[in-house]
Amino acid sequence: MKISITSIFLVFTVLFACETKNRSQEEIELPEDAVEIPQRQDWVVDDAEFESSDEIGELEQSLIDAGLVDVEEVISGIYVDLKYSTTDNFFGKDVYGDLYRCYLQPEVAEMLKKAHQKLQEDHPNLTFLLYDGVRPQSVQQILWDELDKPDSIKPLYVADPKVGGLHNYGVAVDLTLADAETGEALDMGTPFDYFGYPAYPDREKQMLKEGKIKQEHVNNREILRKVMKYGGFTGIGSEWWHFNAYSRKDAAQKYGIVK
């Protein structure tokens, strides 16, 4: 019986493959002097943690369902630091929980985009840093309840949730100016949520005379006011950071209060 060289080669190939497979299934013993390399934790991707970063919380989903938009999806190059998602606010509590994005009514976001474009034209090194946008009525109630002031003067600090403020309609925004590269806020003379005359636009001349604020602070505020006015917003006399897109009457006609 004749056996070809090709047949012999095939037989050896099959045997070698089987042996390799058997050896791969066995545990390979390392030499005694071998060093085992530990697995680096930063090479391992935690799928659960990665997926959670994109999760939308119940509060945020309710804003989306109400038709509001994430401002950062409308305007590029801005920064957001929702102060009520931190303890860095006037009553030191986080009331937004897992909400970190700023939402507004679509028309208001477009108005803010127009203001931002004007800012970029006049001051390319500056951008917006947003502190607050829509504030659901449920959160407004928390602010009202937590404020350690008599009910008679609470409206000087926060809107009565029974009536509703313009934040509750998604047509008001709290913001400041920031360095476009670093996101560091400009010095406006007072921090956000400062309740006192130095934060009052209506009292700036008086505060300058008394040395409570500097001309630099007023100049920065005027830049902010100018571009926000260009976008169609109006400020208020007691907070340099607060701007309204509509009056309360117009907001009530156009939109409902966000619950």
For residue 147, what pLDDT is reported? Answer: 84
Tell me the per-residue pLDDT of 116-135, one tens digit each, with 9 for 90 and over. 999 999 999 999 999 999 99
This prediction has a pTM of: 0.78
Does residue 125 form part of some domain? yes
Give domain status of residue 18, yes or no: no
% the chain with pLDDT above 90 = 65
Cα–Cα distance for residue pair 84/132, rounded to 1 Å: 8
User: How far is residue 116's CA from residue 25's CA, in Å, rounded to a whole number?
Assistant: 63
The pLDDT mean for the chain works out to 84
d(CA 5, CA 12): 11
Residue 226's domain spans which residues?
59-254
Q: Identify the three-state secondary structure at position 179.
A: strand
Of 72, 107, 110, 239, the active-site residue reads 239
Residue 6 forms part of a structural domain: no
Is 50 part of any domain? no
* DSSP code at position 195: -
> Is the pLDDT assigned to residue 1 strictly greater than 60?
no
Active site residue 110: no
Please give the Cα distance from 46 to 24 (Å, whole number): 28
Residues 6 or more apart in contact with residue 136 via CB below 8 angstroms: 59, 62, 63, 168, 258, 259
Residue 25, pLDDT above cutoff 50: no
CATH number at residue 132: 3.30.1380.10
- Residue 24 in any domain: the answer is no
Confidence class of residue 258 from pLDDT cuts 50, 70 and 90?
very high
Distance of alpha carbon 175 from alpha carbon 240, whole angstroms? 9
Per-residue pLDDT reduced to its tens digit, 189-236? 999 999 899 999 999 999 999 999 999 999 999 999 999 999 999 999
Residue 184 in any domain: the answer is: yes
> Structurally, how many domains does the chain consist of?
1
Q: Which amino acid is located at 30 in the chain?
A: L
pLDDT band per the 50, 70, 90 thresholds, residue 34: very low
